[in-house]
Amino acid sequence: MLHALFKGPLLITPHLLVNPPFCSRTSVTEFAKPRRGQGGGSRLRDMPCASQCTTPAETNGGLRRFKLNESTFLASLMPKKEIAADRFVEAHPEFDGRGAVIAIFDSGVDPAASGLQVTSDGKPKILDVLDCTGSGDIDTSTVVKTDADGCICGASGSSLVVNSMWKNPSGEWHVGYKLVYDLFTETLTSRVKKDRQKKWDEKNQEAIAKAVKHLEEFDQKHMKVEDANLKRVREDLQNKVDYLRKQADSYDDKGPVIDAVVWHDGELWRVALDTQSLEDDPNCGKLADFVPLTNFRIERKFGIFSKLDACTFVANIYDEGNILSIVTDSSPHGTHVAGIAAAYHPKEPLLNGVAPGAQLISCKIGDSRLGSMETGTGLTRALIAAVEHKCDLINMSYGEPTLLPDYGRFVDLVNEVVNKHRLIFVSSAGNSGPALSTVGAPGGTTSSIIGVGAYVSPAMAAGAHCVVEPPSEGLEYTWSSRGPTVDGDLGVCISAPGGAVAPVPTWTLQKRMLMNGTSMSSPSACGGIALLISAMKAEGIPVSPYSVRRALENTSVPLGDLPEDKLSTGQGLMQVDKAHEYLQQARSFPSVWYQVKINRSGKTAPTSRGIYLREASACQQSTEWTVQVDPKFHEDASNLEQLVPFEECIELHSSNKAVVKAPEYLLLTHNGRSFNVVVDPTNLSDGAHYYEVYGIDCKAPWRGPLFRIPVTITKPIALKNEPPLITLQLMQFIPGKIERKYIEVPVGATWAEATMRASGFDTARRFFVDAVQICPLRRPIKWESVVTFSCPAAKSFAFGVEGGQTMELAIAQFWSSGIGSHETTTVDFEIGFHGININKSTLVLDGSEAPIRIEAVALLASEKLAPVAILNKIRIPYRPTGTKLSALPTKRDKLPSGKQILSLTLTYKFKLEDGAEIKPQIPLLNNRVYDTKFESQFYMISDANKRVYAMGDVYPKSTKLPKGDFTLQLSLRHDNVQYLEKMKQLVLFIQRNLDEKEVIRLSFFSEPDGPVMGNGSFKSSTLVPGAKEAFYVGPPAKDKLPKSSPEGSVLLGAISYGKPSVAVQDSGKKQQKNPVSYQISYVVPPDKDEEKGKGSSPQCTKSVTERLNEEVRDAKIKVFASLKQGTVEELKEWKELSISLKNEYSKYTPLLVKILEALVSQNNVEDKIQHYEEVIDAADDVIGSIDRDELAKYISLRSDPEDEETEKIKKKMETTRDQLTEALYQKGLALAEIERLKGMATAGTDGEKDEGKTADQSAAVSDAHPDLFEENFKELKKWADIKSSKYGTLLVMRERRCGRFGTALKALIDVIQDNGEPPKKKLYELKLSLLEELGWSHLVSYERRWMHVRFPPSLPLF
């Protein structure tokens, strides 16, 4: 199972996958929990077991007291003995998975990985490889045709030679491109970057050495530089050296660009890639040399990008060639999982997967754009593919905690796939143990999915984990998640080996590696089930997920001695051979799933799947429960042949009649039956207790339980003493031991302080410490810590709690910690509860000046009341500015029911005045993958150039954005149009962290007028138990509000009230001041109205005729400015009107400015030289219309701000100055372009040639031919800062035409950095041309790759 919220491989980032024996909880790939420890007052009780079941001693005896040899060592790397898969295949070689097809829902499977090419009977191992997430999709809707030389223009801009042997009857070539790092994992990208940077550094060092040599030669030639031109030459040489050195420091490789070409050869869609940018050899990676691929399922061919990356990829083409999907894996996890299930190594049979004869389809659900996080889109498409390929099994080693068990859109689709299409769905239970109720969704919480816990045998410990001394018997991994679910279901169905050394992708540069987690136990179980399906198909036994699951559960070997161990291990360790025997014997029985729904008697809601008495009040009296059992057949069941005849006489059993009472018999028909169960926990001791009510077929008791009703009781310890404190003394620990204590957290407690002391050991000890509470409609509240003791010592913690709710304290010595040492660890654990209760858990300051009254009371003991409140975030709401609802075009988005999935794209616009770190939030949809009825969400943030800065979905991440305007596009998917219609005005928040200087620290007062009067400050107090105290929190001062906080935005922060009573530290982190905090927010009110009508407007002195003429003139100019010039006719009209107006108002500057602006904005002109000459003429007209002497006089004068008339004139003159400088600027650009186009390389400043230039390059400009550019430049310099971002381009051109490319480059970089707007493509194109002229080819290539990032032609596909 993979997910960041689990402690293990349930989220797939590469570093989460490989876990050493001593693994941190935050970096585990595991999903398991060790055997339950003693304690809790549990007694040994009889639990149901089928007649075929053997005792643990019989099955595991061969795993105890053993010694490894080479064969047993190799076998331990891919464990099969534990589930009897080895002996089953040995007895039935033809039942090795042949005929079974498994869909691997994971991070992607590498078809080139070891053992994944063929099955044991020579068939293709992998039938299809799909990227269900869309992370590898390329837009290939652009169609081009070859030119006379057989070349096409690729989407990246490269000219590509097409292989003349490729058939393409239509002559149409679909083109697209992709940055190859978008297809790589972080690990692979890091490796490739390192290698590429090494080669780039070598080239850059060569360039630096050359530039330094030129500088040294200049210095040797000119010992003393006084001449201005020589100083400029030296500065230029120094600038070149400086630029190259800075590039080495700022190097950020965005990766090579690969061009993709798609075409139809008359029979199939084909694709070829150009990967030259990945290769060192320019003759490698050419498009024409690529062996074309088609959809993998047709020819089962794959490619490798280059020898450097060794990364395998697969191609699939959709939507008539308009979408190309390049499939790569998003981590090694999926290949490893596939290898456990079905790898086949003919020369190394001991390393075979569990079912070497099974075939696979790979459904990538881990999105590469999200670091391998699963998405709703990926999950839905994967289910569609599994049904389309007629798979028998699904394995999914992903998941996360959930708000509601057995609920959500994905669960609904899974139920349809299992119940209608008979697929068997196997999934990991989670890696969040050792506490109870930590199973994750979907594997541990969904009724139609077989959830698998992780088991480690002595052989696995000795071989795969290389421990010094293996445990004497097998056990659940410490981290494996435990049941029950919050609605009482068992959670873990069965257990299987949770670690293996299995194949990994070729890009890892190794054949196989060790991973452990319930991610590994799930494919182990899935492979075992594939063996059963192989046998069932061969023997003509109908395959049903219902009958297979019952066979597994009723033949598993129980693990542990106590009934409560079922919460960790499920029904036990699966046994393939016994399950096969069961299925053979039960072949004539109908395939039925017995759905159990339970309600508290007298109540219709909530409905649960088990009985879970967790809170103290539930354990103080007997309760009665109504159980409804409904037999469920597959959808294709016959009414007359199966439903009507169905009738079973069920004998009901209770595992302990003193606690759980049920009727003795039940007659069950197709329409179901209900009965009552009474649970009496009053006489139980403190701790966890587990019981079952189960139904046995009276006529065939050998079938074992047909259904089970789990009953879990966690009876908490009530704390009587004051202050509430509990001390757990002299707890003895050995590897894998778990102590569970259930404590009734006192009402009024808000945090706990704990101290753990460990002693009596030699080698280091590692412990998992969990505290778990369950509240309605919340994910389990969990605090966890991994504590390592290198010597006897004490550790202290503080964490938040919910008063009045039972808390499980689980302390576990990690399963492999202390192995080899025969000393037990003695642990003392002391925990005390504290609390400050307030009358408002969430505070909202409404924007007024009024403070909020807060009432505080300590119910348990005296507490220090020291409130602290800060506002450190701002959240701004946005509505969509655009919506688009459409049906998705491809078959991969068509549900098995036949419904086509729809897509709603919402567009939001927002602006940042300064660079900031932002996080988009959608409260309705965020933080729920499985427990939501909406299918999926995905967003991308881009700038005006279409550069994508961030992508995300359910769990938005903070992203640093520069200043500017941004667009956020949000894609929502569902097959129900009504749901999507309701989302068209979905509110989105953009949240950003305030800068440290913007953070607001709120003040507290003892008087209601304190915020206004400024007195009555409240700092701290000591709360006496039971006595209330009140104070006020004031709103922030209006002048302290951060800029860019518009009306309706919300400032967010936290408020806390107490402090730990002692210096408590959490796992070595800094001292905690506020163990519990609450949200506080402030709604930004409307801005104050600016004073209007200040003063009186001056009296107009112009006549009516003058004013009328001015109005007419301005109206004409307004109409003129609105004219378009797109067509020949429009351009003709514009020219005629411009001439007419110019004749009428020849010296009116605003008109001349409009003419110049229109000329500058013209595109696609044929005669560019003539066009630029027209621009120069228009600029001269503007310049000539301005009295520069008069302008200079006004600009230099200091005006009195209080004199409105003078200020008005000055502003007018400033506008005139801006018009003048703009005209000079545009004239300079036009002159430079004409020079470039004519090839007139006039160089030099003031007619003098620069050092190092040839005579031709630096020829002086005679008086007869004045340097117009230089004259214009000098004039501009009088009126504007030519180094500013607005006019700097002209400075760059001036330095360039003088041959000072280093100085030109420096000036250009300054312009780019100073420009606050989104980057302008022209500036970067100019940068490229300068680098080309300098001959720095390595930097040219580098910048060209960045051009694809900064200025993509379009946004990527969702």
| Catalytic residue IDs | 106, 333, 519
Give the C-alpha separation, 386 to 105, whole Å. Answer: 9
CA distances from 748 to 330, 716, 754, 806, 807 (A): 47, 17, 17, 13, 14
Cβ atoms of residues 846 and 474 within 8 Å: no
State which amino acid sits at residue 665. Answer: Y
Q: Which residue has the tokens 């228009």?
A: 1178
| Ramachandran sector of residue 1252 (left: φ over 0; alpha: ψ -120 to 50; beta: rest) | left
Give the C-alpha separation, 1292 to 1309, whole Å. Answer: 10
Give the C-alpha separation, 981 to 979, whole Å. Answer: 6
Closest to 168 measured CA to CA, from 267, 287, 294, 286 = 267
Closest to 385 measured CA to CA, from 100, 101, 1 = 101
The shares of helix, strand and coil residues in the chain, as percent rounded to the nearest 5, are: 30, 25, 45
**CB atoms inside a 10 Å sphere around CB 1265:** 10
**CB atoms inside a 10 Å sphere around CB 896:** 15
Tell how far CA 121 is from the center of its chain.
40
Give the C-alpha separation, 845 to 855, whole Å. Answer: 16
3-state secondary structure 127-174: EEEEECCCCCEEECCEEECCCCCCEEECCCCCEEECCCCCCCCCCCEE
Angle at 487 between CA 485 and CA 489, to 5 degrees: 55
**CB atoms inside a 10 Å sphere around CB 302:** 17
On the question of a cis peptide bond just before residue 434, with omega within 30 degrees of 0, the verdict is yes
DSSP-derived pairing of the beta strands 843-845 and 1078-1083: parallel
3-state secondary structure 211-223: HHHHHHHHHHHCC
Give the C-alpha separation, 628 to 625, whole Å. Answer: 10
Cβ atoms of residues 912 and 918 within 8 Å: yes
Cβ atoms of residues 1255 and 1230 within 8 Å: no
Q: Where are any strands of DSSP class E within 915-986? A: 916-921, 936-943, 948-952, 959-961, 964-974
Contacts of 1190 (CB under 8 A, 6+ apart): none
Give the C-alpha separation, 210 to 213, whole Å. Answer: 5
Give the C-alpha separation, 441 to 3, whole Å. Answer: 10
Give the C-alpha separation, 330 to 323, whole Å. Answer: 20
- On the 0-12 / 13-18 / 19+ scale of CB atoms within 10 A, 1148 is middle
CA quadruple 1290, 1293, 1295, 1296: dihedral, nearest 10: 170
3-state secondary structure of 186: helix
- On the 0-12 / 13-18 / 19+ scale of CB atoms within 10 A, 172 is middle
Give the C-alpha separation, 1203 to 37, whole Å. Answer: 87
Give the C-alpha separation, 121 to 115, whole Å. Answer: 13
Task: Kindly state the tokens that stand for 186.
Answer: 């972080």
- Please name every residue paired with 395 in a beta bridge, in sequence order, or none if there are none: 104, 426
